[in-house]
Structure 1
Amino acid sequence: MSELMSEGVTLMILGMGFVFSFLVVLIFATTAMSKVVVKFFPEPEPVTPAPVAPTPTSGGGVDPQLLAVLKAAVKEHRSRQK
């Protein structure tokens, strides 16, 4: 192998080694930063409201006046379509 070719291979191996080393350090640094952020700034637990079950007397949670208006609107629309 010529001297120029061996220098090129050496330079390639060194370059790839530096890139690999940098990526390994980057992985450890981001993992450490993530653990620090989670430790000192934990994400609050989401509060889920309890589901409200509709009762038979409440009309399923729908305002009776709104229900009457909707029924009238549907009736009017259907009468115009015929």
Structure 2
Amino acid sequence: TFDSKVDTEHFAKSVSVETIANNDYNLSVSSYVEAKDNREVIDIQKLNAELKITVEKIDQLRADIDAIVAEIEG
């Protein structure tokens, strides 16, 4: 990449001396190359649906436990 002076997205970028001067001679790569966004995309609607099902299961299990405890206590 360096020898060919080809920009590589999220990795390398060829910038002019003027651009570097305008950036107070900052040679930090992050000043010129944008980092790749590696965050996972989450489907909120799907997650909420799964959460609703899980909460319903928890509520049913709690009711079952309460019934068992009530039966044991007589």
What TM-score does the superposition give when structure 2 sets the normalisation length? 0.43
Q: Which has the higher contact order (CA 8 A, sep 6+)?
A: 2
What TM-score does the superposition give when structure 1 sets the normalisation length? 0.39
Work out which of the two has the higher radius of gyration on C-alpha atoms and give 1 or 2: 1
Identify, as 1 or 2, the structure richer in helix: 1
